[in-house]
Amino acid sequence: MGAGLKAGWLWLSRGFGYFVGAPIPLSPRPGQGPPKWLQRAGKFRVALKATSASGDYTAMVDVQGRGDPGEVALCLALGQQEAPPGGGVLTPALALGSVLRERLVAAEGGEFTQFRVLAET
């Protein structure tokens, strides 16, 4: 039964890709990334809440998007002069600031990412 479960898992993890173009690699090579069909089909949605250091201001934002336009890589390659100064291990949002947000909003004719303010206090 153990071998059957492993074979089933292998088929499920790779097999569905055959129906839409390419299998999902179990051990991708460096730089390979997911197949193109999976990049196009990907999407995300997250609600963020931020509070000022003083606690006087709070904002909630809904961020959603689809696909994978590679805007972080383009910001790193082309927008370093406009990125805020800093160092250390940073998230893309901290490292690239408003440059990344502007690129994400403009990507794919404005259809890649949407930012919507839910509440402000």
pLDDT, residue 60, reads 92
Mean predicted lDDT score pLDDT of the chain: 76
Nearest to 119 by CA among 46, 65, 64, 57: 57
Query: Could you report the per-residue pLDDT of 58-91, keeping only the tens digit for each?
Result: 999 898 887 766 777 777 777 666 666 666 777 7
Nearest to 40 by CA among 20, 67, 22: 67
CB 35 within 8 A of CB 23: yes
- What is the helix (H) or strand (E) element at residue 20, kind and residue range? helix 2-20
pLDDT, residue 45, reads 86
**Residue stretches of the chain with pLDDT short of 50:** none
Q: 44: number of CA atoms within 13 Å, CB side? A: 10
pTM exceeds 0.75 for this model: no
The three-class DSSP label of residue 120 is strand
pLDDT, residue 12, reads 62
pLDDT, residue 13, reads 57
How is residue 52 written in tokens? 């000022």
